Amino acid sequence: MCGIIGYVGGKKAAPILLKGLQRLEYRGYDSSGIAVLNGSIRVTKTCGKVATLCEKVSENNMPDGVIGIGHTRWATHGAPSDINSHPHLSADGRFCIVHNGIIENFAELKADLTAHGIPFKSETDSEVIAQLVQYLYDGDMISTLRNVMERLSGSYAVGVLCADSPSTLYAIRKDNPLVVGLGQNENFIASDFAAALEHTHNFVQLNDYEIAQLTARAVTFFDRNGKSVEKTPYRVDWDISLAEKGGYPHFMLKEIYEQPKAIKDTVSARIKGDNIVLDRIEFSASNVNSINRINIIGCGSAYHAGIVGKHFIEKYCRISVNCELASEYIYSNPITDNRTLTVVISQSGETADSLAALRLAKKLGSHTIAIVNVLHSAIAREADDVLYTYAGPEIAVATTKGYTTQVAALYLIGLKIAKVKHIISDARYSELLNEIARLPEKVSEILKDTDKIKQYAQSYADHKCVFFIGRGTDYAASLEGALKLKEISYIHAEAYAAGELKHGTISLIENGTVTLALVTQEDLYAKMLSNIKAVQSRGGSVLAISSQKNMQIGKESDGLLAIPDCDDDVTPVLTAVVLQLFAYYIAAKRECDIDKPRNLAKSVTVE
Ligand code: AGP
């Protein structure tokens, strides 16, 4: 996913832009560049890491100028190369842009502009924006940018420089995140807070089709009709250290250890005595009783959290819950209407597939709730209701605290609905509420001693394939365990419903095949034991993950990782932490790029 930073103020722009790009590196990118306006616009850009860009900038003498834009590119159109990197200059050199998103009609626009004699240099869709600004420029940048937005289709967050306005930075956006940072005699645009957080904690969200006009001393906003728009700044209390590694070798490990706080921040704010208060989400008896179906939609780990939520909500709310992959949902002509409650889960709140699914569900009449981690993100803003997870910035591409806080949020929603429907006993309700409230301390218990997890992980680090099996909510939890291992260690891993192994996949079990068996559901111990024996009888070795109260399973397996005792219905949060660490230590042993795994991006803002 691309990253954008822009600056206008009293200091030299280049060092601020370069530092901002370093803070955006985690988003995944393949090239980067900056442009500084000082009379004329000077662009320095390169394929490869931001460190290479820094060298290039200093070799060419750091440009002067107190206004500029910067970009990290994750290629979508045109291979990673210097010429395809951003920023892009207009043909006459008077305009310069950085873009995050995809211009879906760039080919037609490019053909049209080329026919008007405007030459193009790159293969990208983004360059068309720079040329279009030049072509439509009428001496007034606000009206020009309004016209540009009328011509563009697709998604975009754009920073713009104009040589005719040497002390003004512009930004426009549609379907792609862009925040405006308000400093002291300096202002910023950024794809996310981390790029500007060391300079300011005060931000404003730019909404779709709005234009931001920034000078050193003032920021003005216009809507698509050119009318000025008042905005209320909000404060982001994430200090920059939260976006740093804080002494951990990887962001992922830091974020695994942040889970007790992340879960606590997510649940404790909503548990008021014996009552669950889900912010402004109204679960009245009438609207709850009108729900005859719940669709939970997400991608990747967010989807896996939804499957864990399905088990819990169906068990206690007795409402049919469908879990849908967002990318499938949007093209499936889904069964969704005004009696469907749609829950869209997304850590970043910017995943294109999930945003498209949200929009479709709303169009079909469904009430929508977003479970999102990033404040004011697109999915958070467009859903009817939002329940934020308070996990703080998640930098590592592989989600950890984002996932466990999503699961905790789903438990709260399920318990709230069950209570409103009066289909859960007071005793069971209080028991579960207490269990959820105690999850942070139980996660802390796991984190206190991870040596055994590390030992097992390191002993399995050279395996080519690992199976994860479980039944019921353990199966749901095993899906996330398999994804974690795959995405950061590049070992093939597969999660399987334990009862399903015998219907085909068990043919893959041979001498030495490693299987992790999640065995936390007391009523399924016996079934799981026979599945474990079936694997072992074919030469496979089984590492069981179970509760302290079920240590017996350890004698029947080739190894045991115990989680603190907790209610069977909330074990996925605890088994998730064990499996995150299991994956982490294997990837560390294999010296993988844990925070930025190959081919992956933190948030996939293209469909
Ligand atoms: C999880 O470790 C992956 N990074 C990925 O599957 C992620 O969960 C998925 O892309 C959804 O992202 P979101 O939660 O930001 O929408």
What is the residue-wise DSSP string for 119-165?
A: ----S-STHHHHHHHHHH--S-HHHHHHHHHHH--EEEEEEEEETTS
* Residue at 467: amino acid letter: F
C-alpha closest to that of 522 among 477, 577, 576, 474: 474
Q: Which of 323, 603, 605, 606 to mutate to test the pocket of ligand 1 (most atoms within 8 A of CB)?
A: 603
524-565 pLDDT tens trace: 999 999 999 999 999 999 999 999 888 888 899 999 999 999
Contact 145, 169 (CB under 8 A): no
| Residue of the CA atom closest to atom 3 of ligand 1 | 398
496-532 pLDDT tens trace: 999 999 898 899 999 989 999 999 999 999 999 999 9
Instruction: Tell me the pLDDT band of 50, cut-offs 50, 70 and 90.
Output: very high
19 is catalytic: no
Going from the Cα of 399 to the center of ligand 1, the distance in angstroms, rounded, reads: 7
The predicted structure's pLDDT at residue 548? 85
Q: Cα 342 to chain center, whole Å?
A: 19
The predicted structure's pLDDT at residue 269? 75
What is the DSSP track for 475-544?
Answer: HHHHHHHHHHHHHHH--EEEEEEGGGGGGTGGGG--TT-EEEEEE--GGGHHHHHHHHHHHHTTT-EEEE
* Residue at 408: amino acid letter: A
pLDDT at 188 over 90: yes
Going from the Cα of 601 to the center of ligand 1, the distance in angstroms, rounded, reads: 9
Going from the Cα of 603 to the center of ligand 1, the distance in angstroms, rounded, reads: 6
Which residues line ligand 1 at a C-beta cut-off of 6 Å? Answer: 299-302, 346-348, 351, 354, 397-399, 487, 603-604
Going from the Cα of 605 to the center of ligand 1, the distance in angstroms, rounded, reads: 11
Contact 123, 103 (CB under 8 A): no
Alpha-carbon Rg for the chain, nearest whole angstrom, is: 25
pLDDT at 241 over 80: no
Q: Which of 256, 299, 374 to mutate to test the pocket of ligand 1 (most atoms within 8 A of CB)?
A: 299
2 is catalytic: yes
Going from the Cα of 25 to the center of ligand 1, the distance in angstroms, rounded, reads: 17
The predicted structure's pLDDT at residue 523? 93
Q: What percent of the chain has pLDDT over 70?
A: 98
Query: Best-predicted range by mean pLDDT among 43-47, 56-60, 262-266?
Result: 43-47
| Residue of the CA atom closest to atom 9 of ligand 1 | 300
Give the nearest ligand 1 atom to 304 CA: 8
SS3 203: strand
